[in-house]
Structure 1
């Protein structure tokens, strides 16, 4: 029997990585979509040739140069859809392999753009990590190289936090680490106790 699948998502700066780490600390296996993309773009990764076919100058040292890829996306409105069409199937294959090989009772799939890519139907439960907008903004703007303009551009491409919270099954607050930990512990307990049905409508 496959594990109970939890889709973990949240907008930039909401604390999703912290939540994923707390699941891992409880021996819940976590698949990370961003890590999967990094592996695809590394030397020998299946994504390298896919990008080379579209943009040869975005390859350096046998890997995808993410700076050049970002510059291409910024300068060409058609670039991102082309990249997504090439890379998303490879990411989906990696995710499927993870689920197939997973022997745990619960598995978490950490997908930043879960709602944006219409992937929410593939999970038994979707958990949205959320924090107040001002906290989100402070967290993101403290990152090296981040500016108000870059943050606004990222947020414009993401489903608003309020909509994510409305569409998710569970909201994991990330303002306070103890509250985040307690919410995750309660969620794991409820899943194992059968209080969350499999397969979302």
Structure 2
């Protein structure tokens, strides 16, 4: 075998390695993109469940605190905005944070009515909503982990070359912006014993 044959075999081997790497990288992007989409669909299911619970919760509280109309309107408007289709994860996060704030106001109203806090229907709805919130939080962590993995691959060299050629782009995180969620809890022992 002469030198030209050896060089040709080396070139073909390098081209074959590059093609195999390119196909593997492309397939990795497809897998990550599908994981991100699947994780978002799971969050979406839990968000719909949350949105379906809220009217029942509002009606239960209305039975005890009918004069708190502004709070009910706030929750209803926030729920309608959050349940509207077509939002990106970042937009959905903003809408869900507004809904969380409105629900906080609703629960503050409920605190003023001991009979309501003891009502079985209210307690069941509150427990179901808490369970749903926990599932949304778990879904958010899973989704954001997949987004991080995709975004890292989109931005890293040399996989960013394949990402550019095939128009794979960064995904948006689904983040909690609610100050109460991000705030450091305060502990105040005050003068309880005094």
Give the TM interval when normalised to the shorter protein.
under 0.3
Q: If the length of structure 1 is used for normalisation, what is the TM-score?
A: 0.25
Flag the structure with higher strand content. Answer: 1
Structure possessing the higher relative contact order (Cα contacts under 8 Å, 6 or more residues apart): 1
Q: If the length of structure 2 is used for normalisation, what is the TM-score?
A: 0.26
Q: Find the structure with the greater CA-based Rg.
A: 2
